[in-house]
Structure 1
Amino acid sequence: MKYFQSLLLLFVCGTTFAQLDGSWQGVLIQDNQNGTTTNFAIWVELIVDGPQLKGSFRSEQANSPYYKISSIIGKINGDNVVIKEKEIVNQNTESGKGWCFLLARFDYNASEQKLKGSYTSETEGCVPGELVLVKSNRAFNRAATEIAEASSLENVEQLLVEKKAVAGKQFVLTDVNYQSGKHNIISSSHAYLDKIAELLKENSSIKIHLKGHTDSDGDDENNFILSHKRAKSVSDYLIKTGIDKARITYEGYGESRSVATNETKEGKRENRRVELLIISE
């Protein structure tokens, strides 16, 4: 993709605007000229102050360390909220890359805490698409993109026994399974998650971040929502075992961070996953 995303957003919401305050995580679905779509992970931080808005916008290029963060300002006017990019405050990008300036209109679904809309851009080379955001339980990330060190549960357990650092270790929850198209964890996965819970109880200083992913089958928006719900289902299970919810954050990436081809059954199986990242000790 020649350009990354920047921001000029128009929200349309028939709701109490204080509900928009906070961190939102989602996906930008770009419509390509060949009829395919490309997904980019995005985050928005909204700070509501009466009729005024300010905050931040972050977008990431899939499977790379490249990202952009911009400050945004806005104003609430009746059922409309206009949000405009003010300036880029941080970025890590390839030489020669530019930023698209987007104009988007969202509908707010209060029951689902979801913002959904489409965008266009007058920037040359930029193409239209859709944006979907859901309310996040994780604070807006201003740091570099997390390219975590891959590991395994057994490796992490051994490092904890040896009292070595485990922050930044990440592993796939290989024995957590779901019914096709569902976010409910099947009962055969409970023993594995109980093991994760015991590990967290024995190491009370550890905090974790869960990342949900899907393959490319199905609708892009539904895949993003499904990945978010699957990560949340793991969080909910661990909380029920007695883990403090303040120790767990989660988010979904849909199909934007594939680790294998989606052209084979084996590749799709690898892409349907929930990852656990240890973010602090």
Structure 2
Amino acid sequence: MRRAIREADPKLSRYDPLPRIISFDDFDRGMCGWTQLVGNYEISLDQMLPGYAQHTHAQLSTLPNWDFGSHGGVDGSYALKLATRARRGAQNVTLKRLTFRKPGPIRMECYFTFKPEATELQLMETDVRSFGFLYDLQVGDRAGAGGERVMPHLRFLNAQDGKHLQKWQFKRKTTEIKPIGNVGKTISHYHLADSDWEDLPGGEQKLCYNEIPTKINWHYLRFDFDLSTMQATGFQVNDRTFDLATFDCIRIPAMKNLWCMLNLCFFAETDTDKRTFAYLDSVCLSGDF
């Protein structure tokens, strides 16, 4: 019965969720809880790490362009748009902040696309450096001092220094964890730094990228993770399923106020002095608990 109801809904039937849908974010309905990743600070915003200070809020967009008007989403008018600043290496991040009620399997599915800002009449296929996503997770408070904060990261490295690379990468190292302010309550680390990324074995993939800079094509993505073991269990993009045998996550000691955290983030990065745009048509997060 549950499957029949889901398959009767055109918006849900393009996904393969686990039995319990935790959230289904169709951006034709609004922001759906997605927000800006603001860095930690105490007393003054100037204490925020520079990586976070560059972030801005995602926006709803009809994917407008100068030559044929608006593109729209997969089956509606709006998508969630994430835009970097027009500076080589600039990044931006959007996230949804949740907690989990039982550690078990979860699945994130989405339809995404990315492109540079169409400021020139040429293809610009190497102007986007990367598009990616991550979970930011922490065990429940019963884990005590031995608990971990676990952050699985994956990015599609499209290009770097003008070279078209087109491969998936992961990381298991973060930057130095630094105290923020002098009260002793706040620390921070910029885990999206452009360092310590490792190639996912067999992770080369050529994504559909249209022939002029205003066109886009939507891509399907699925990432499976088990909160009970804190291990990734599956990764698919379009027709490709990737081997995660060597994949691992950033793992750091649990922080004192983040118990049962279940955050989901998407990010984009530009490789030139023009803005990169990443778009999400919809995002489905489901679990088996």
TM value normalised by structure 1: 0.24
Structure (1 or 2) with the greater strand fraction: 2
TM-score by length of 2: 0.24
